[in-house]
Amino acid sequence: MLRQQDVGHRVVVRRIVGVTGERTLFTDALGELVDLTETDLTIATDKGTVRVPLREVHRAKRVPPARRARAAEVIALELAADEAWPAPVRSRLGGWILRAADNWTGRANSALAVGDPDRPLEAAIDAVAAWYTDRGQQPLINTPMPLAAPVNAALDERGWTARPLTLVQTAPLAPLLAAPARADLPPVDLADNPTDEWYAMVAEHKGTLPGTALRILNGVPEKVFAHVRDADGDLIAVARGAVTGPDRWLGLSLVQTAPAARRRGLARHVVRAVAGWAAQRGATRAYLQVEERNQPAVTLYGRLGFSTHHTYLTREGPR
């Protein structure tokens, strides 16, 4: 049977649809598992969304993605994501990118292991470890899969640990924009610069924002900060969007809703507004990064049409 860890992944479900004589009749559904409750599961299939009561499920399991992303596609998306979250301190190790940002977020403080490091793998790992140690930081390497499988194997041998798996999920913008805007929700204000309240809401989730964080958040030429306020003027939802890369990817991040305003559709509302902004700038696809263990977020993004493009592990070197 499927578990919450399977939400956001491709699955196949065999469903009982009836009985003829002594023969049980089944039908199969194949697609992305977007929701799983105590009573039902929901699958996004090629023919539309299917909701199946658990009492009708005969068998269900996770299956491989329909098509594994090619190495060039993984590299292009990872480079676009790096451009959208620019660490202020950077160095190159062949094709690898070494990044530091006063330890604010793993993305901005890890070596991105894509391409050829221009030296034997063991020497590349040594160089990464030395670069971070010289800066008083724990060595971290971001290993996109399946591209960086050899790097992960080498790090396993050296005793590097791993943070929770991160899903890099993508979705076309067209379906997001096709959904009608919610007239019952407050308007989304899209600004070139975040307000102090915007920073405060993000800090509740990300911790105190150092000056480095502000440089990262504002360090992209094409970026937008979404604000939604209630009738009293209180900020109840935020998000950040950035368009980067030759393929004009929209990078979505920091989609947050105030606790008292959740379950009202504000996340979809904000994402739709940011998607519209990005479409005006030539973007046709969006991506986001979410930890696999964050099941509420994975479920939400699945409902918005996001599916896993590839995954990555952030590997931690010995201190």
- Direct distance between the N- and C-terminal alpha carbons of the chain, in angstroms, rounded to an integer: 40
Placement of tokens 């913008």 in the chain = 173
Cα separation, 234 vs 197, in Å, equals 9
Q: In the chain, which ranges are continuous DSSP H helix?
A: 71-84, 121-134, 149-157, 173-178, 196-206, 211-218, 266-279, 295-303
pLDDT digits (tens, 9 = 90+) for 71-94: 899 999 999 999 999 999 999 999
Confidence at residue 146, expressed as pLDDT on a 0 to 100 scale? 82
Q: Is 18 left (phi over 0), alpha (psi -120 to 50) or beta?
A: left
Residues β-bridged to residue 244: 249
Tokens of 5: 């860890």
Cα separation, 171 vs 284, in Å, equals 9
64-78, 84-98, 208-222, 237-251: least confidently modelled range: 64-78
Q: Is pLDDT of 7 > 90?
A: no
Question: What's the mean per-residue pLDDT of the chain?
Answer: 92
125-129, 135-139, 298-302: least confidently modelled range: 298-302
CA distances from 257 to 23, 170, 271 (A): 49, 21, 12
pLDDT digits (tens, 9 = 90+) for 11-27: 999 999 998 888 999 99
Question: Which of 254, 295, 258 is closest to 274 using CA atoms?
Answer: 254
Question: Which of 53, 60, 3, 4 is closest to 297 using CA atoms?
Answer: 4
Average pLDDT of the residues in 148-168: 92
Cα separation, 161 vs 256, in Å, equals 29
Band (258; pLDDT cuts 50, 70, 90): very high
Average pLDDT of the residues in 224-246: 97
Q: Decide: 42 and 51 in contact? Cβ < 8 Å.
A: yes
pLDDT digits (tens, 9 = 90+) for 165-198: 899 999 999 988 987 888 899 999 999 999 999 9
Q: Which long-range contacts (CB under 8 A, 24 or more apart) does 252-260 make?
A: 252/286, 252/287, 252/288, 253/84, 253/85, 253/288, 253/289, 254/202, 254/205, 254/206, 255/288, 256/201, 256/202, 256/204, 256/205, 258/201, 258/234, 260/236
Cα separation, 173 vs 123, in Å, equals 42
User: Which residue would you say has higher pLDDT here, 293 or 158?
Assistant: 158
Confidence at residue 265, expressed as pLDDT on a 0 to 100 scale? 93
pLDDT digits (tens, 9 = 90+) for 108-120: 999 999 999 999 9
User: Which residue would you say has higher pLDDT here, 5 or 60?
Assistant: 60
CA distances from 150 to 106, 157, 160 (A): 21, 11, 14
Find all residues with CB under 8 Å of 186, minimum gap 6, and list them. Answer: 228, 229, 230, 231, 236
Tokens of 125: 């790992």
Q: Is pLDDT of 35 > 80?
A: no
Tokens of 94: 């062949």
Q: What percent of the chain has pLDDT over 90?
A: 74
Confidence at residue 239, expressed as pLDDT on a 0 to 100 scale? 98
Q: Is pLDDT of 237 > 80?
A: yes
Tokens of 72: 């060039």
Q: Is pLDDT of 315 > 80?
A: yes
Average pLDDT of the residues in 129-140: 97
Confidence at residue 46, expressed as pLDDT on a 0 to 100 scale? 62
Confidence at residue 3, expressed as pLDDT on a 0 to 100 scale? 86
Q: Is pLDDT of 144 > 70?
A: yes
Average pLDDT of the residues in 273-290: 97
